[in-house]
């Protein structure tokens, strides 16, 4: 009989350790552990109510090429998207020369030169992108041979916005129009 009670006490003490849905905190409190989101989503009523409003997505690719200030350029001088669209832009830097570092910065109409010059003044510590309301979006710096991506929402107001590489002196040859319709 004594052995029976010892077994029961041991079983009761081990039971909390067998439960995979709870965990004991340092203070000894038991709290609910995170569950697998897939299993929750499968049976959750919220999963049945799908989002009926989908934002248009525009996938764009812009390639920077050239191994000197005279050769460098974007492969396109015009990019287009619908107003309010989600833009997923891939910037491919095909250059091989280590001085051919590029980015792409989208600006308000007529502001690409101002933004590029402010980026030059800011320097590498700010990724050559000034903190100003005239900047709509910017990519990370793409080193030679590197591809970077940026996601942003196109302006809601249609118009001819601009894009530019703000690395020092690149703005003179690397800029274009971002048409929002």
Residue ranges per domain, the chain?
2-48, 57-180
β-pair partners for 63? 92
Domain covering 57-180, topology: Immunoglobulin-like (2.60.40)
The model's pTM: 0.69
**Do residues 176 and 79 lie in contact, with contact meaning Cβ atoms separated by under 8 Å?**
yes
Nearest in space to 176 (alpha carbons), one of 121, 109, 129, 118: 109
* pLDDT tens by residue, the chain, 181 residues: 444 444 444 444 444 444 444 443 343 433 333 333 333 344 444 444 445 567 778 999 999 999 999 999 999 999 999 999 999 999 999 999 999 999 999 999 999 999 999 999 988 888 899 999 999 999 999 999 999 999 999 999 999 999 999 999 999 999 999 999 9
Burial of 162 by CB count in 10 Å (0-12 exposed, 13-18 middle, 19+ buried)? buried
């Amino acid at each position: 009989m004594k052995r029976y009670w010892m077994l029961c006490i041991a079983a009761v003490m081990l039971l909390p350790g067998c439960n995979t849905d709870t965990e004991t905190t340092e203070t000894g409190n038991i709290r609910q552990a995170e569950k697998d989101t897939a299993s929750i989503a499968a049976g959750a009523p919220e999963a049945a109510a799908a989002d009926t409003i989908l934002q248009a997505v525009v996938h764009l690719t812009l390639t920077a090429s050239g191994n000197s200030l005279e050769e460098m350029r974007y492969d396109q001088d015009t990019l287009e998207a619908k107003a309010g669209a989600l833009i997923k832009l891939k910037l491919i830097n095909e250059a091989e020369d280590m001085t051919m570092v590029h980015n792409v910065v989208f600006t308000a109409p007529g502001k690409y030169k101002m933004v590029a010059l402010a980026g030059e003044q800011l320097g590498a510590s700010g990724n050559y992108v000034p903190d100003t309301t005239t900047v709509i979006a910017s990519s990370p710096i793409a080193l030679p041979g590197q591809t970077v991506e940026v996601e942003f929402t196109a302006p809601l107001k249609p118009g001819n916005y601009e894009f530019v590489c703000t690395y020092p002196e690149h703005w003179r040859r690397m800029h274009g129009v971002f048409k929002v319709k």
